[in-house]
Amino acid sequence: MDPSRDRAMEVAMKVIVLGGDGFCGWPTALHLSNLGHDVIIVDNLSRRAIDLELEVGSLTPIAPLGKRLAAWNEITGRKIRFERLDVAENYHRLLSLIAGEVPDAIVHFAEQRAAPYSMKSSAHKRYTVGNNLVATHNVLAAIVESGIDVHLAHLGTMGVYGYGTAGMKIPEGYLPIEVVTDDGVRVQQEILYPSNPGSIYHMTKTQDQLFFAYYAKNDQVRITDLHQGIVWGTNTPETSLDERLINRFDYDGDYGTVLNRFLMQAAVGHPLTVHGTGGQTRAFIHIQDTVRCVQLALENPPQRGERVRILNQMTETHRVRELANKVAALTGAQVAFTPNPRKEDAENDLHVRNDLFLDLGLDPITLDDGLLREVTEVAARYAHRADLDKIPCTSTWTREQRPGAPVEDPKIVAEA
């Protein structure tokens, strides 16, 4: 039996999971429920609605939430409650829920989380800004108005740091700096790492940080901000229990994360679409480590009056073209270098500290451990559900960028 389970059972918490029907929220809700915590999912089902808008679906078959929750109860005997409300729109319902339930913690996933979706059009930019910023602020305002000492754990992103690091390791949230005063005295300070977001979506997470810093300072709200890398993988032990519990696997140009896209492309015989040179180095984490990290964060909250606790929720870094090569080596897929729809540096290094989670006991699942299982158990198994038309990244960062789709001249399609 998982030793973390015994520990958690001793301090069973009531936890509201905002966005608990989504890709990270759903497995987090199941994991926390399985540990014996009392979990309430809040969701407006927006992720399902966006599938309708984009005319796409998860590669894996996602059951309706009612069916998911009934299956969880049937299989484990545990009950997860569900409140359908929009955190950005229904402030007073959220406040009533907090005041009535008196939760120990709130996990906040209730944000639009795809960078390409946030860049599709002015309307998508404005939706992402309005939804994400107002949702985060509503949660904070409701916690303060309720007068309850709730620990808020928020999913941030490694993207708040940007991808130019001057040769140093990215610290966990705070950067020690030196400033020279007018008298020539060197003063040492520690500041929130200067943000450099790469999309409207990432920008909202940098703005969230300023909400958190302010509410921690003025109202002593206890806040943990988890700067997560790109998530790969699909299932956790809990979502693997029954197909009705299966997690999302997005492969489309807007919501699919890079590694999952490569896996699906390999499964359907499509060349792996590398944007630009593939020289972008990014941070990654397996979905199973995501849910463990949230657990660890909840078990180790900051004290009241402490500054925001920021942890880098990632376990390894890889260059995009190296990922493509790994998948190609496993599957025999070809690699296609496409135009880069994003406005970003073609190549970058990335060195990230993640000592805090390692010190708390995280034992990461590496790509080399888990990749083959994803290929066979998920991508190949559900490949028949794929809509190949949805593979290209059609959302471009400016009018000058071009979609991330293989161009017609076959010369640029090279073997890995």
Q: β-strands 222-228, 151-157: how paired?
A: parallel
* 255 counts as catalytic: no
Is there a contact between 31 and 15 (Cβ–Cβ < 8 Å)? no
- Distance of closest approach, residue 117 Cβ to its own copies, in angstroms: 15
Nearer to its own copies, 317 or 334 (CB): 317
Contact call for residue 305 and its own copies (CB under 8 A): no
**What are the backbone angles phi and psi of residue 36, rounded to the nearest 5°?**
100, 5
Q: Kindly state the tokens that stand for 215.
A: 């509410």
Phi, psi dihedrals of residue 293, rounded to the nearest 5°: -65, -40
Phi then psi dihedrals of residue 65, to 5 deg: -60, -40
Q: Which token pair is 129?
A: 């800004």
Nearest alpha carbon to residue 151 among 360, 356, 297, 4: 297
Is 1 one of the binding residues for its own copies (CB under 8 A)?
no
Both tokens of 166, joined, read 């001057």
Quick one: which of 177, 346, 358, 388 contacts its own copies (CB under 8 A)? 177
Q: Which is nearer to its own copies, 5 or 343 (CB)?
A: 343
Q: Which of 117, 127, 163, 201 is catalytic?
A: 201
Shortest reach from residue 245's CB to its own copies, in Å: 36
Within residues 209-228, the interface with its own copies by CB under 8 A covers 210-211, 214, 218-219
User: In whole angstroms, how close is the CB of 214 to its own copies at the nearest point?
Assistant: 5
201 as an active site residue: the answer is yes
Stretch that binds its own copies, among 286-294, 319-327, 385-393, 396-404 (CB under 8 A): 396-404
In 3D space, the residue among 201, 230, 236, 228 whose CA is nearest the CA of residue 60 turns out to be 236
Please tell me which residue in 60, 128, 136, 157 is annotated as part of the active site: 157
Residue in 28, 205, 234, 273 annotated catalytic: 205
**Residue among 138, 288, 317, 338 that touches its own copies (CB under 8 A):** 138
For residue 345, give the 3-state DSSP assignment.
coil
90 contributes a contact to its own copies by CB under 8 A? no
Q: Check residue 100 for interaction with its own copies (CB under 8 A).
A: no
387-390: long-range contacts, CB 8 A cutoff, minimum separation 24: 387/56, 387/57, 387/252, 388/268, 388/270, 390/54, 390/55, 390/56, 390/251, 390/252, 390/253
120: annotated active-site residue: no
Cβ-based nearer residue to its own copies, 317 or 325: 317
Cβ proximity to its own copies: between 134 and 416 the closer is 134
Question: Six-digit token pair at 71?
Answer: 């299956």
The pairing of beta strand 222-228 with beta strand 174-180: unpaired
Q: Say how far apart CA 290 and CA 297 lie, in whole Å.
A: 11
Query: Which of 181, 363, 368, 415 is close enough to bind its own copies by CB under 8 A?
Result: 181
Q: Can you give the binding site for its own copies, defined by CB under 8 A?
A: 91, 95, 122, 125-126, 129-130, 133-134, 137-138, 141-142, 144-145, 147, 166-169, 175-183, 185, 187, 189, 191-192, 194-195, 197, 200, 203, 206-207, 210-211, 214, 218-219, 343, 351, 397-399
Catalytic residue numbers, as ranges:
157, 201, 205
